[in-house]
């Protein structure tokens, strides 16, 4: 095969792979699961009460982790963290967002499993950083 023919075949294969990947991305983006995730994420971002609870949760979590790392954890801060966590988990907008996120993760995991089976290698491994410790 001439080099020119090989380059045309390679670019045709690359183009077909890119088009297939774009079609897959469109299908995921058009899925009811992804649309629910997007809607739930917007609702969560726009819910002032949920955002306030989330900021309180993050602050209490940082405080509790810091105190634990110093070996200075006290029952009061642990109790405060647990109270805030329970309020956040019970908040309807947060619940919806977490359920939608879980649904999307399941869809993407199932998609990865399917692609891994068809391709013969773990498709998700391609998203990991090259080299290094992780």
- How far apart CA 126 and CA 108 sit, in angstroms, is 14
Mean pLDDT, rounded, for 5-16: 70
Percentage with pLDDT > 70 across the chain: 90
- Inter-residue long-range contacts of 27-32, CB under 8 Å, 24+ positions, other chains counted: 28/107, 28/108, 28/111, 31/107
- How far apart CA 90 and CA 94 sit, in angstroms, is 8
Q: How much is the pLDDT for 125?
A: 83
Q: How much is the pLDDT for 10?
A: 63
Q: What is the pLDDT of residues 63-79, one digit of tens each?
A: 998 888 888 778 888 89
Q: How much is the pLDDT for 3?
A: 52
The CA–CA distances, whole Å, from 97 to 30, 56, 77, 124 equal: 18, 18, 27, 24
The token pair at 53 is 């609870």
- How far apart CA 93 and CA 48 sit, in angstroms, is 10
- How far apart CA 64 and CA 85 sit, in angstroms, is 12
pTM higher than the cut 0.75: yes
Q: What is the pLDDT of residues 105-129, one digit of tens each?
A: 999 999 999 988 988 888 888 777 7
CB 68 within 8 A of CB 33: no
Domain ranges of the chain: 1-30, 32-112
User: Please, what is the average pLDDT of the chain?
Assistant: 88
- How far apart CA 96 and CA 98 sit, in angstroms, is 6
**Is pLDDT above 90 for 7?**
no
Q: At what angle are helices 32-46 and 3-30 packed, to 10 degrees?
A: 60
């Amino acid at each position: 095969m001439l080099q020119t023919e090989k380059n045309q075949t390679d670019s045709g294969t690359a183009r077909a792979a890119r088009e297939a990947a774009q079609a897959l991305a469109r299908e995921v983006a058009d899925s009811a699961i992804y649309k629910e995730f997007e809607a739930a994420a917007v609702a969560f971002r726009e819910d002032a009460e949920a955002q306030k609870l989330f900021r309180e949760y993050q602050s209490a979590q940082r405080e509790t982790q810091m105190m634990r790392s110093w070996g200075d954890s006290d029952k009061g801060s642990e109790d405060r963290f647990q109270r805030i966590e329970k309020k956040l988990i019970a908040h309807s907008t947060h619940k919806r967002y977490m359920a939608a996120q879980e649904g999307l993760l399941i869809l993407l995991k199932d998609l990865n499993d399917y692609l891994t089976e068809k391709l013969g290698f773990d498709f998700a491994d391609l998203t990991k950083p090259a080299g290094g410790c992780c």
